[in-house]
Amino acid sequence: MKCMHCQGKMKKGATPFHVDRKGYHLTLDEVPAWVCQQCGEVYFDEPEVDSIQDIIKALEDRTEKLSAVA
């Protein structure tokens, strides 16, 4: 697999994932990913993307419920 950014070699590994949305900060450590050995670009496989999206959706639902109570 080659990096879409620099054409470098991609290697399977793990990386942190960070997101700041709607008043919260989410950090996931050691998410499986493809990491470019040349430029450090990161790509996630579809199952990891689906899991991350599920986690974000659950957090947003809970954040909305907390906001409604406040």
In the chain, what are the domain boundaries?
10-69
The number of CA neighbours under 13 Å toward the Cβ of 9 is 2
- Confidence (pLDDT) at 68: 66
Is 90 exceeded by the pLDDT of residue 65? no
Task: List, in sequence order, the alpha helices (H) in the chain.
Answer: 46-69
- Confidence (pLDDT) at 3: 97
**For residue range 15-64, what is the model confidence (pLDDT) as tens digits?**
999 999 877 889 999 999 999 999 999 999 999 999 999 999 998 888 77
The tokens for 19 are 């997101």
- CATH architecture of the domain 10-69 equals Roll (3.10)
Residues 3, 38 contacting (CB under 8 angstroms): yes
Name beta bridge partners: 12.
34
